[in-house]
Amino acid sequence: MEKKSIYLDDVRTPISQNEWIVVRNYDEFVAKVTEIGFENIAKISLDHDLDRSAMVEWVYGAVRNYKIDYSKIREKTGLDCARWLIEQWKEGEPVCPVYTHSSNAIGASNIMGYINNYKHLAGLKQDCIRVQIKHTVENRETDSE
């Protein structure tokens, strides 16, 4: 089986779509990784903010205060996906390269720190970095809350 690459983002779609399997939220991410199997994953790229409340916290929290108040975010984020990955790795699943393409620099930093800390403690190369992947943005209607 050819190894697959997974791209987690609620609104962006990579231009090179045939290179990536796109998932839009935490549940889709977990289901797709489980379906494919860790041994069949070439790489993963994570967005941090996966819905409206995370975006609001980024704009009104992170941009102004340089921190994220996760208690204000209702849906799971890319950081939750990173945490789930590490739990699977601790259980013996193969470690794969993970990157972040998040516009939220603090959220991206949290993902990189979490992944790289695990890799450091496991004696692995700390290679989780923030990347830019050319993409289009889906025009989605959002609920006004």
Helix, coil or strand: residue 1 = coil
Q: Can you give the pLDDT at residue 140?
A: 54
C-alpha of 55 from chain center: 14
Query: What is the distance between the terminal CA atoms of the chain, rounded to a whole angstrom?
Result: 44
What's the number of CA atoms in the CB half-sphere (13 Å) around residue 51?
14
C-alpha to C-alpha distances, 82 to 56, 57, 145, nearest whole angstrom: 21, 19, 28
**Do 115 and 63 touch, CB atoms closer than 8 A?**
no
Q: How confident is the model at residue 92 (pLDDT cuts 50, 70, 90)?
A: very high
> pLDDT for 1-23, tens place per residue?
799 999 999 999 999 878 999 99
Query: How confident is the prediction for the chain on average, in pLDDT?
Result: 92
Query: In this structure, what token pair is assigned to residue 144?
Result: 């006004």
- The answer to whether 36 and 89 have CB atoms below 8 angstroms apart is no
What are the E-state strand segments in the chain?
4-8, 12-14, 20-23, 41-46, 98-100, 135-137
| pTM, rounded to two decimals | 0.90
* Alpha carbons 44 and 96: distance in angstroms, whole number: 8
For 99-120, what is each residue's pLDDT tens digit?
Answer: 999 999 999 999 999 999 999 9
pLDDT at position 144 is 35
Give per-residue pLDDT as tens, 32-77. 999 999 999 999 999 999 988 998 888 888 878 888 999 999 999 9
pLDDT in tens, 115-142: 999 999 999 999 999 999 999 997 654 4
Can you give the pLDDT at residue 139? 64
